[in-house]
């Protein structure tokens, strides 16, 4: 099962989409766009999980596909 993560950058000025524990794949200025892209990627690679993190990198939301 693949794991996708949406997390803010160090300054919380942008959002990263990460696959597994690999370096971030994409950077977005808006959280909504990052989540939409991560959801699309997760749905294309079922079974998978999506974790949305806050600025402290704590899980705010978890979704399964």
Report how far residue 48's alpha carbon sits from residue 3's, in angstroms, rounded to the nearest whole number.
6
List for the chain the helix, strand, coil content (%; round to 5). 20, 40, 35
Beta-bridge mates of residue 63: 50
- Among 59, 57, 58, residue whose Cα is nearest residue 49: 59
Model confidence pLDDT, tens digit, residues 6-63: 999 988 789 999 998 787 778 999 999 999 999 999 999 999 999 999 989 899 999 9
Domain count, the chain: 1
pTM: 0.88
CATH (domain of 54): 3.30.2390
Range of the domain at 10: 2-64
* Distance (Å, whole) CA 64 – CA 28: 22
């Amino acid at each position: 099962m693949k794991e996708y993560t949406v997390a803010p950058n160090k300054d919380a000025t942008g959002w990263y989409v990460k696959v597994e524990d690999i370096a971030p794949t994409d950077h977005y200025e808006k959280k909504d766009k990052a989540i939409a892209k991560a959801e699309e990627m997760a749905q294309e690679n079922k079974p998978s999980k999506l974790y949305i993190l806050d600025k402290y990198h704590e899980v705010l939301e978890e979704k399964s596909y």
